Amino acid sequence: MDRKLIIDGNAVYEIDEKCMLRKQLEEKKGQEQTKEDVENLNEYKMKRAE
């Protein structure tokens, strides 16, 4: 199983590790896409300034 139980006092949390990994990868991919968008925008601005 790819799940963990975390017991914190009276609260119990179930963590789905596959879901967390997928979410982290999507966030990283989104950050990389944002960096590319900024670079493309800067390149466009430089070309336009010429």
Q: What span, in angstroms and rounded, lies between the C-alpha atoms of 26 and 23?
A: 5
8, part of any domain:
no
Helix (H, G, I), strand (E, B) or coil at 10: coil
**Residue 27's domain spans which residues?**
23-50
Residue 17 lies in a domain: no
Distance CA(8)–CA(10), nearest Å, equals 6
Give the pTM.
Answer: 0.52
pLDDT band at residue 1, thresholds of 50, 70 and 90?
low
6 in any annotated domain: no
10 located within any domain: no
What's the pLDDT tens digit per position in 3-50?
888 899 999 999 888 888 889 999 888 888 888 888 888 887 777 776
**What's residue 31's pLDDT?**
85
Tokens of 38: 């900024």
Q: Residue 10: its pLDDT value, please?
A: 92
For residue 20 the two structure tokens come to: 């967390």
Contact 34, 20 (CB under 8 A): no
Distances (CA, A) of 39 to 9, 13, 34: 48, 41, 9
Overall domain count for the chain = 1
